Structure 1
Amino acid sequence: MTSPSDAGLQAERTGLAWSRTSLGAAGNGALLAIREIEHAQLTLALIPAALAVVIAVATAVYGRRRTRALRHAPLPVPLAPSRAVPLLGWSVAVLAVLSGIALIV
């Protein structure tokens, strides 16, 4: 149970977590794109950069919706998201693997 001083903090923490994830994915995409453009090559390594941008936008949009839902009373039922969080989580994991491969190649 949360104390009255915690009211609204869950939504704020949720929003910050989604923002950090979105910023991390966007930064990853920017670094991959800069690396390829710096070498004057447009190769398949730009695919992870494009994927990172898509993930960053999707994370930002979903995070904003989720934060807004948590700020409204009563809380949504069910509270835990069913598909979006695992989908975005796996997307970030795939992005990490693809980024590693792009850096090695």
Structure 2
Amino acid sequence: MTSPSDGGLQAERTGLSWSRTSLGVGANAVLLAVRELTHDEPGQALVLAGAAAALAVVIALYGRHRTRLLSRAPLPSPLAADRAVPLLGGAVALLALVTGVVLVLP
């Protein structure tokens, strides 16, 4: 719960969390790409690296949108993002799972 003196901090925290998530997914993309490009024959994980990079961009753009939305007064109603947050969260979880499988394969 936020206090009345917490004005503007919710939008800042939201922006920071989206930025961290975007950076993490982007780092995943870079590591996958480097791993594949250092092999003699790049494999299908290069496609996964591209998808991860695209997901990082989508997360960054959506996070920027949410930050701007939450910095407005009055706050939007409904406040929670019903579809985008679970969809992006699921995409990040799926990316983590697929990356784990790709890293275990030879």
Scaled by the length of structure 1, the TM-score of the pair is 0.94
- Identity percentage over the alignment? 60
Instruction: Note the alpha carbon deviations across 1:42-80, whole angstroms, 9 max, x for none.
Output: 211112211211110010000000000000001111100
Name the CA distance, whole Å, in 2 between partners of 1:80 and 1:16: 17
Aligned to 2:99: 99
Other-structure match for 1:66? 66
Residue number in structure 2 paired with 1:83: 83
Q: Following superposition, which runs of at least 4 residues in structure 1 exceed 2 angstroms of deviation? A: 1-5
Q: Secondary structure at the match of 1:94?
A: helix
User: 1:1-105 counterparts in 2 under 5 A?
Assistant: 2-105=2-105
SS of residue in 2 equivalent to 1:19: helix
Instruction: Measure, in 2, the Cα distance between the counterparts of 1:34 and 1:53.
Output: 13
Cα distance in structure 1, aligned partners of 2:3 and 2:96? 38
In the alignment, the residues of structure 2 paired with residue 3 and residue 76 of structure 1 have an alpha-carbon distance, to the nearest angstrom, of 18
Q: Cα distance, 1:12 vs. partner?
A: 0.3
TM-score normalised to the size of structure 2? 0.93
Match for 1:27: what amino acid?
A
Aligned length: 105
Shift of 1:101: 1.1
Matches of 1:38 and 1:84 in 2, distance apart? 35
Q: SS in structure 1 opposite 2:60?
A: helix
Root-mean-square deviation over aligned CA pairs? 1.1
Report the CA distance between 1:4 and its aligned residue.
4.0
